[in-house]
Each structure stands twice: as C-alpha cells, then as structure tokens.
Amino acid sequence: METKLLDGRALAGKIQEQVANELAVMQRVPKLVVVLVDPSEAIRIYVRNKLKRTAAVGIQTTVQELSPTVSTEQVVAIVKELNQDKLVDGILVQLPLPDHINTNTVIETIDPNKDVDGLTSVNLGRLMANMPYLVPCTPLGCLHLIHQAKADLTGLNAVVIGRSRLVGRPMAQLLLAENCTVTIAHSKTRNLAALCRTADILVSATGQPGLITDNYIKPGAIVIDVGISKTKDGHITGDVDMERAKGIAGWLTPVPGGVGPMTITMILTNMVQIIKQNLDNK
C-alpha cells in the first residue's frame, strides 16, 4: 500500500494566508503577549518561530521574558495585569515553566477569553461540553491534518496515545465531537499494539521515539505523529518509526514538517477567533 504524507508545512502555509486575509479585512492589529520564563535554547528557537509567523499575518506580538527566579505569585500578578490590559487580545504562557512555579495556578489565572492556547479549565470544559471556543493548538492542528485525509470521520475507531492536558485529552474530545469511537491509551495501557491495530485514526503523543512500528498500525490507517524527541546525533524524530510505518499506514505525518507547523498556525486561528468574538461583543 502506498503511504501518503500529510504535509503540515503546506497546509499551515495555506491557513496562514487565510488568516492574513481575514485580519486585513478586519482592519485591526491584534496584540498577543508571550510570557517566557527561563526558556531552554529549543524553546527560545520555537518562540522566535512563533513570532515570525504572527508578524507575517499581521499580529503584533511582544515577549515578556521574566527572570528565572520569578515566583508563582509574581507570574500570576503579571498575567492578571495582562488580563486587565484592554490593548492585549491574547496571552500565551510558554510551557514548560520551571519546576518551582505552579503551572496550573498560572494557567488558571489567564482570562479564558484571552487564552490563545486554550489550556484553561474553562476552555477545556467548553470543549468537553461540546461547546468549543479556544481549543488547544496541537490537537486542533492534528484535526486539520486528519481532515486532509478524510472529510467525514463518523464511525471511525480512533486511538489517542497520551493523556496530557496539552495534547491527549483535548485530542480525544475533538475526535469524539467528530463522531469517532475514541480510546485514550497511556503508559499503563495493556496490549497497546493490539489496541492500536484497531485504529482507523492513530494519534501518538508520547515523546517515545520509535514506539509505533508496523505492528501497531492497521493497514490504511491515518497516523498522526505528535511526538518530538531528539536523537543522539541531534536530529528531531517522532513517536513513529517511519520506515516501518511506510507501506502500512494510509496517511502519515512526517516529523519534522507535520504537526509542528500546524500547532503554531492554530495560535493564529485562535487569535482570529478572539478578535471576532471581541468585535461581536462591541
């Protein structure tokens, strides 16, 4: 069987063009603030990449880089100020935060209507109640990629590996809303390979390089690889063993060039959602 690659870069490019056009019509320059605490070099590069994309579509983005010794209370105070600032449309606290900061406390402080990453419990609750507003960017990007392979997902079996707040849980909710029969697997799941072989759609978000081999894939399945790991020689790799998946999967996302570009692009579409909502409320 021929395996088709789902090109995240190409799709991201198309959506970015649409976002730029929508924002141009609105004649409004949205403002996004990224809060950054003690980033690794990889995160710094990732944020720089986000800034390039936001600037390209006409979103004004500033980075508030805080000292590595900042406390939870200090980060909370800064987020509260941004919540109050009428000129700020979107707030993004870049994760992971250092261990001494309570990530949940910080996330929960973000005004849910400025929560461009969709990670507050209000936005996750809206998703769970099937009233989505701002949806976490990575699973939203995955759904766009899945739709490149198939428009109607009704009745398909989906297995999502990973149960994080950032990826696995919201991904499962999105697939459920598309009428899939969804199973969430995780590190304690038994007989993972056999379970995965039942999946018409397999989304792997573990960060375990090479976990998904031919033995985990139903012939013709749509396989979405969210994982990002670094090999010993410094290359980026996903959860899926590409060589062994090719010829069995029907569709497959490459790493890099699959989910990554879509994640950044969904920040832009969430910003458009916020601006539309703000204009409607005026």
Where do contacts with ligand NAD occur on this chain (CB under 6 A)? 138, 161-164, 166-168, 185-187, 189, 192, 205-208, 211, 226-229, 259-260, 263
Residue 5 DSSP SS3: strand
Is residue 94 annotated as a catalytic residue, yes or no?
yes
Give min distance, CB of 230 to ligand NAD, in A: 10
Q: Where are the beta strands (DSSP E) in the chain?
A: 4-5, 31-37, 60-66, 90-93, 157-161, 181-185, 201-204, 222-225, 229-230, 236-237, 251-252
Classify residue 236 by its DSSP letter. E
Q: How many CA atoms lie within 13 A of 51 on its CB side?
A: 15
Nearer to ligand NAD, 20 or 195 (CB): 195
Query: Catalytic one among 16, 31, 50, 200?
Result: 50
Query: Catalytic one among 115, 117, 200, 225?
Result: 117
Instruction: Check if the beta carbon of residue 153 is closer than 8 Å to that of residue 133.
Output: no
Nearer to ligand NAD, 175 or 275 (CB): 175
Is residue 152 annotated as a catalytic residue, yes or no?
no
Give min distance, CB of 136 to ligand NAD, in A: 9
Give min distance, CB of 165 to ligand NAD, in A: 8
Give min distance, CB of 162 to ligand NAD, in A: 4
**Spatial separation of the C-alpha atoms in residues 12 and 140, rounded to whole Å:** 12
Select from 113, 90, 140, 134 the least CA-distant residue to 265.
140
From edge to edge, which strands make up the β-sheet containing 31-37? 60-66, 31-37, 90-93
Is residue 80 annotated as a catalytic residue, yes or no?
no
Residue with CB nearest ligand NAD? 207
Nearer to ligand NAD, 29 or 45 (CB): 45
Known catalytic residues are 50, 94, 117
